[in-house]
Chains A and B, each alone.
Chain A
Amino acid sequence: MQDKLFDHRKAERLHLHLPCRYTFERPEGRAEGVAVTSEVSGGGVGFVLADGVAPGTACQVALTLPERGVVAFAGHVIWCQPRSNGQRNEFDIGVAFTVSRTNHREAFESYCQFIASHLVLRYTE
């Protein structure tokens, strides 16, 4: 019971497919592209790419939120691994946002409202 009651996760993931535009600042140069998220949370997003990206790589991610427009955040890659279904040349990429409420206030508020709305709708009977 203790384990179920006391929950120390900080953000829940939502499996939402949002259009996103990314820019990676690789040592060999900037790489830009578009993708669709596989999951989003308050802390970051996950999406699938044909090429791997080294964890720690700095990036910018611009998400298109339905009815809210585009929000852009800075972040960095925190994990990259081949897709678990065994397909070649595809990688699950996880990006953690490095959001400052001051510097990204408007985007952060919009993103918060978006995430919270989806959480409420998911758990409203």
Chain B
Amino acid sequence: MMRCAHLDEILNEHTYVDLAPQTRAALDRHLADCPRCAAAWRAHEAVAAVPPIQSDPALFARIVGRLDHASREVRPAAPMLRWLPHVGLSALVAVVALAAVVLERSAPGEPVPGDAADTVSVGAADAVTRFSEGRHYRRLPLAARMVTGDGEVEVVEMFMYACFPCFAFEPHLQTWSESRAAAVRLERVPVTWGPLAALHARAFYAAEALGKSEAIHEAFFREVHVSGNPLDTEAALEAFFARLGVDRVTFRRAFESPAVDERVARADALARRFGIGGTPSLIIDGTYVTGGEMAESYETLVEIVDELVTESATCRGREAPASCRF
């Protein structure tokens, strides 16, 4: 007599097409007696009956063509540089991923031919300001510096691991912050919009508590956006941390610690305080906010931040020039 598990095995391994007559007869008897298996069989046949579809022969060529075209164009449209929860995601991912392609395939900092903006020098000694309030950045009504003092200029990046623009922007931000290491204190703060972002934020601070931020940050982005593993459960995070040398007990201790609770709550409060509506967003010296929707490209976004850092450093001094905008 055939059992339910045997019928499942026949279905799952696709062996129903070659059944011996006596097995087929046993299967039919089982189906007649077992409503649950009969339902499963009926559902299987319904799905299998959907005729296979052929892709449009030109679809692959179109996709390849877009990759090629985007690579030549280099720069995506400004709104596509930012994660906006109300924008259709596939379009967003599509265009921003192409920007990431450029990141992967171009030398860091490589100038874009024919782009006048790249020919303008923006540095500490350059008093000319290229970017304007309202268009390229906005000013917070009240300064909200996280660390007070006249030392390094504080730059806060509000980001989300599930945000593809954040992934694509990361190498730009990293390269820039290393070049300005003496003048800039970069702090990354994950936003906590929704359960997935909150889970990732907790993982971010657990990594920080374990002294593993550097090892995990880029790997986390790549796991989500390149490997396609959303890391959307605690078990998945445990496995991911384990691959990077953090055992389960150590991970859980950090992940569930009150200190991490506090850091996640602080991250949530900061996003509200800065009035952040999309990622990546950058807050310079607790005073200026800029982000993907205010820049034409990731390179321009970095230049905006750089200029505001320069100005913040200059205008913090006791003998701030009259040209200071605040």
Do A and B pair up? The answer is: no
Seen from chain A, the residues whose Cβ lies within 8 Å of a Cβ on chain B are: none
